[in-house]
Amino acid sequence: MGSINPKIIELKNGMKITVKACEPPEAKLFAAFTEQVGVETPFTRFSTTGSTPSLEKTATEWQTELLRPDRLQIGAFQGDRMVGYLKFKQPYPDHVGFRHVADFGVMILKEFWQQGLTRIMMNEMELYARSIGVQRIEARVRDGNGRAMKLFESLGFKNEGTRKGAARISGQMVDEFYIGKILAESVKN
């Protein structure tokens, strides 16, 4: 089951935040969260030109994903407000040649940036990944997103190459970078 032990953490500014696996009743908090994130940054799929998922779709997805070890969704909550979200998955959990690979995406409400929240959520993700035998984690970062790139590099991810014009922001084609981190050269399974 894709879950982690809930934790109450203290941010750099002293604020207390709960970090835990997302559960279906929290889907309504996710709707408000993605709407705000979409306006605050161009670097997510929820950005102004994109679309936000329906409440029903999210709740159903989360119900299914909680039961799947190859999926993990970590939410950061301040009371009943969602302030951060990380999605982790093994795209090919049943393929012997690719099940060692997982990918992720992460986003935080702007007022909570630079408080160390993403670093904490990514550490949780990495612990979980190791516990299920994942050997490599990867993601895509858009050109211009220096904030994210600097953070990911400080966590051991490497820039592995460019996807030319892979995204479009405000009508302009923008490159994306592949980033990856090897967790373990070999595992028992």
Binding window for ligand COA (CB under 6 A); candidates: 56-64, 106-114, 156-164, 167-175: 106-114
Q: Is 148 in the site for ligand COA (CB under 6 A)?
A: yes
Would you say 73 and 61 are in contact if contact means Cβ atoms under 8 Å apart? no
Q: Is 44 in the site for ligand COA (CB under 6 A)?
A: yes
Q: Choose between 108 and 174: whose C-beta lies nearer to ligand COA.
A: 108
As given in the structure block, the two tokens for residue 56 are 């029903």
Region of residue 69 (phi > 0: left; psi between -120 and 50: alpha; otherwise: beta)? alpha
Rounded CA separation 145/81 (Å): 25
Amino acid occupying residue 28: K
As given in the structure block, the two tokens for residue 39 are 């306006």
As given in the structure block, the two tokens for residue 156 are 């051991």
Binding window for ligand COA (CB under 6 A); candidates: 39-47, 62-70, 87-95, 127-135: 39-47
Count of residues interacting with ligand COA (CB under 6 A): 23
Q: Is 118 in the site for ligand COA (CB under 6 A)?
A: yes
- Least distance (Å) from ligand COA to the CB of residue 147? 4
Q: Is 174 in the site for ligand COA (CB under 6 A)?
A: no
- Least distance (Å) from ligand COA to the CB of residue 138? 11
From candidates 105, 133, 144, 180, binder to ligand COA by CB under 6 A: 105
For residue 147, what are the CA distances in angstroms to 25, 74, 84? 31, 20, 16
Region of residue 14 (phi > 0: left; psi between -120 and 50: alpha; otherwise: beta)? left
Contacts with ligand COA by CB under 6 A lie at: 41, 43-44, 105-108, 113-119, 139, 141, 145-148, 150-151, 154
